[in-house]
Amino acid sequence: MSSLGRLPLSIKLPLLTAAMMVLVGAVASQQVLRALARVQDERVQELAQLHVEGLSVALGPLVLRHDIWEVYDTLVRASEGTEGRRMILTAVAGDAGRVLAATDPRRVPVDSAIADLSVGAAALEDLTVGGANPVLRLLAPLTYQGRTVGQIVTELDVSDLLTERRQALIYLILGNAFAVGVLAFAGYLAMRKMLRPVTTLARQMTETRGAPRPIPATGIPRGDGELARLARTYNSMVGAVAAKAEAERRLAERERFVALGRLSSSLAHEINNPLGGLLNATDTIRNFPDRPEVVRQSADLLDRGLRHLRDVTRVALEQNRLDDGDRQLASEDFEDLRLLIQPEVSRQGLDLGWSVVLSPETANRLAAGPVRQIVLNLLLNACAAAEHGGRIGLSAATGNDQLSIEVSDTGVGMPKSALDRLLTDAPLSPGGGVGLRLVRDLTTGLQGYIVHERVGGVTCIRVILGPNSEAPDA
């Protein structure tokens, strides 16, 4: 039954139709066989009645006189007629129940008891062609001038009627099987044609490879039927999904530049402070070119400051790269993120907790770009939520071939709209950025999941990435 449930509709419906046709054919065949049996029984009863009535008229006086030779001669002549060819044996007895004559004297001797021959015989009204016995036995009274003067026992050969019934059964079976096969095949072709739009719709929905595709105009049925409206509705939905995806992509891109703008303002302070020291060092070198130790100290200061500026600009450029998806994740990526987020932490006077323990074998299975974007967005949201003087934390660790990233803050907690963006695929409500939805999309793309907790005044967002990552039951 379960295997039948997995069959496509274009096969199940013709099979159901074929089963109903088999049932109807079986009932119709039964009715035909019953009608044929009724006709055959009427023919045999009519023939037997004519045989008995004819013998009664011819043999009545002979039986009264017990004229054995005349009775035998009459029986032989009657058996040679057209009706008598079906009568393979006829025996006549007098009123005493003793046989006077029979068409086969050796089988039924004269003066034998007619009762021995009449065992299993049926009356005229009960005579019926049935079963596998090709011989019917009839027991009828011999009536002459209104009174019974003897008995007649006749055996009838009905083998031809049984053959006719078997042939009719075979023809019915073959005819029904042929009709069922032809009509089932025609039904299959018709259903395939009628369900072709549904098959096309199912294929378009299951073979999207990440993006739904509209049904071509040639695949939409003509007219304004249900299937045509279904196909047009699906194409409208595909267009709406594509428009929504494009809008979300643009919003995500906007959010990315907003985040970079926030970082740029912080990095400007990070770069501006060392520049003052570097300018002082150059002034010192100009003013004291004849003092080697002062020049050396100033040069060292210049070297350290320039190296720091180089690191800051390298990290900023690395974060802004769009073709970073193929590079593997490493511990240095988290150090870059720490350097990027440090100006924001310092500006708001936040306390930053940082713990990164990575296994190279696990980390190298993940692309650096998406992971960096996930962590940066969560850290920026944590900084905004913690407010001035708060505490944020990042913990990254590997285990069981998975990477666990946990970002926490001591803010007031995330509103429901933010949680919907982070934890569900609900449509984005007006207002607010899409950074949290970007985190969800990137996590889903890496086959991971997100867990939100609020314990003891601390909000914790945990992202689990890696093979076989499945969200725990709610």
* Token pair for 398: 């590997």
**Which residues on neighbouring strands pair with residue 408, listed in sequence order?**
393, 460
Burial label for 15, CB within 10 Å (0-12, 13-18, 19+), is middle
**pLDDT given for residue 260 in this prediction:** 60
At 427-466, the pLDDT tens digits run 666 555 557 877 888 888 888 999 999 998 899 999 999 7
Q: Contact at 8 Å (CB) between 467 and 400?
A: no
Cα-based distances in Å from 167 to 36, 385, 442: 11, 91, 74
**Which residues on neighbouring strands pair with residue 458, listed in sequence order?**
455
3-state secondary structure (DSSP) of residue 349: coil
**pLDDT given for residue 474 in this prediction:** 43
Q: Contact at 8 Å (CB) between 47 and 83?
A: yes
Q: Indicate the helix (H) or strand (E) that contains 474.
A: none
- Per-residue pLDDT band at 323 (split at 50, 70, 90): very low
Tell me the C-alpha distance between 100 and 142, whole Å: 13
Cα-based distances in Å from 237 to 214, 218, 412: 9, 18, 39
Rg (CA), the chain: 52
Tell me the C-alpha distance between 40 and 130, whole Å: 10
**pLDDT given for residue 418 in this prediction:** 86
* Token pair for 417: 């709209």
Would the pLDDT of 274 be above 70?
no
**Phi, psi for 36 (deg, rounded to 5):** -65, -40
Q: Contact at 8 Å (CB) between 124 and 48?
A: yes
At 66-115, the pLDDT tens digits run 888 988 888 888 877 645 467 888 999 988 889 899 988 898 899 899 88
Would the pLDDT of 374 be above 90?
no
* Token pair for 254: 């906007």
At 163-174, the pLDDT tens digits run 888 888 898 888
pTM for this entry: 0.43
Annotate 430-457 with b (16+ C-beta within 10 A) or e (fewer).
eeebbbbbbbbbbbeebebbbeeeeeee
Average pLDDT, integer, range 1-28: 73
Would the pLDDT of 322 be above 70?
no
Average pLDDT, integer, range 191-209: 69
Tell me the C-alpha distance between 136 and 155, whole Å: 6
Would the pLDDT of 421 be above 70?
yes
Highest mean pLDDT out of 8-12, 127-131, 142-146:
142-146
Give the count of beta carbons closer than 10 Å to the beta carbon of residue 250: 11
